Each structure stands twice: as structure tokens, then as C-alpha cells.
Amino acid sequence: MATKPSADSKLAVLNDHYNNTVADFKKLNKARDTNFVFVLILLGVMAFQYVSPSQSQSVLTQAVQKKLEIDAAISINVLGSLVWFALLYVAVRYFQNVINIEKQYNYTHELESELATHYEGKAFTREGEAYLDNYAVFSDWVHVVYWYIFPLLFTAAITVKIVGEWAADNQNTLQVWLNSLIYVALLISTALYVWSLYRTKKNTDKDVKDK
């Protein structure tokens, strides 16, 4: 007959799991910050293309040729669509990172509450509740940035870019339609991102009330 694990063994396993969860949480934060920087870089490239199409074509072509170590001519239309594809990929990764971080906060709170029962509520609140208690104003501001400001600015930026492509005199219709599909995918991804954050917050508030 198997022996039931002792209370100390259960606490040790819970503590290890908490440490692993915090380590994963820090990795998610690092990935989020990295993807956010790439999103800003790609939006900067799009802004450069919008403000100075001819100069951006020369700069981007030379940059790609140097990176790939080739002398062949590269279509600016292809480069433009590649920027859209790259933005879609990085933005989706960024959205996933933020959503997972919000969920990880909630899970970390649960682990901290479980661990705190073994220490009369005096320990294991560094990564979750302590953050919200000591940095409540900053936490609220971060939520405003993630939930409202960034999605609005992001949507405005890509909308200006796609409208500019349709208004261009020398547009390639096939390429603009392709970029428009990516634009729609970005809009859908952004809307789902905001909705997912709202649901996560709603579920968190419900759990707090239930407790």
C-alpha cells in the first residue's frame, strides 16, 4: 500500500512548483518586452514607408541585400508585404504573451495563497499580491496602456498605412489586397486580444468576490 506524502513533502513540492511558475513568469515578461520592441520597430519601418516611399525603398532594399549578401534586385512590393507578415507574426506573439502574463498573475496569486496558509499569511506574496498592493497605481496605469492605449494606437497606425497604400498612385493591386487581408487579420487579433484581457479581468474579479 502506497504511503501518503507527508505535509512537509507536499509543501516542498508546492514550493518547487511556485519557484518554477515564477521563473516561467519572468520568461514571459522578457518575451513580451522583446516582441513589443519588434512591434515598435516594424511600425517605425511602416511609418518610414508611408512618409518617404522612395527613400524607404532604397534603404530597405540595401539593408536586405546586405543582410542576405546578394546583389539581385528585390521588389519593394515584396518587401512591403514581408513587413506586414512580420508585423502580424510579432503582434500575435506579443498579444499571446500579455494574455498569458495576466493569467499567470492569477495563478501565482492562487499559489501564494496556498503557500501562505503554511506561514500564517506572512510569506510568498512577492510576485503577486505584494506587487498589486505596493504598486497599485502603476499596475492600473499598465493595464490602461495594455488594454486601451496600445491597441488604439496600433490600430490607428496600421489603418493609416493601409489607407495610404490604397491611395498611392503607383499601387500594385494584388499586393495591396494581400496587405489588406493581413490588416484585417491584425484587426481581428487586436479585438480578440482586448476581449481576452477583459474576460481574464472579469474572471479574476469574480474569483476575488467568491473568496
Place of cell 495563497: 113
Highest mean pLDDT among 25-34, 50-59, 64-73, 101-110: 25-34
Residue 144's pLDDT is 82
Q: Name the one residue in this structure whose C-alpha cell is 489586397.
A: 177
Mean pLDDT of the chain: 80
In terms of pLDDT, which residue wins out, 196 or 61? 196
Structure confidence by residue, pLDDT tens digits, 127-163: 445 555 555 677 678 778 878 899 999 999 999 999 9
d(CA 23, CA 128): 13
Read off the pLDDT of each residue in 109-132 and give the average, rounded to a whole number: 59
Phi, psi of 36 (to 5 degrees): -65, -40
Query: Given pLDDT bands bounded at 50, 70 and 90, which one contains residue 8?
Result: low
What local confidence, expressed as pLDDT, does residue 120 receive? 62
| Per-residue confidence (pLDDT) for residue 127, from 0 to 100 | 47
Helix (H) or strand (E) holding 109, with range, is helix 76-116
8 A C-beta contact, residue 92 and residue 107: no
Residue 27 and residue 173: Cα distance in Å, rounded? Answer: 42
